[in-house]
Structure 1
């Protein structure tokens, strides 16, 4: 996966945790739509493996 794609996915996760869903989609959608088949598969794997990144609480416990 390209470093720019990974940065966009991580930023989208951060925005999602902040309840900034529209911004998260605006960040992630272009890289997802522009991915070729190989990168698309890598994105799907990353999203599956990092689901908690989109849902975890920002508070340190």
Structure 2
């Protein structure tokens, strides 16, 4: 089998080449595997809410907690 490795994106559910993937960090796309397109989209739209290990949410990485 000379088929390139393909994986299904956890967000858009499209099958893509393995090179188009990266392992999403916690809080990105809510899933471990997401294609780069989804992750960059997610990063742009949810830049406001960056998850911290403390479980608190900060605004754009500033030290203002709510």
- Structure 2 length normalisation: TM-score? 0.33
The one of the two structures with greater contact order (alpha-carbon pairs below 8 A, sep at least 6) is 1
**Is the strand fraction higher in 1 or 2?**
2
**Is the helix fraction higher in 1 or 2?**
1
- Structure 1 length normalisation: TM-score? 0.35
Q: Which has the greater radius of gyration?
A: 2
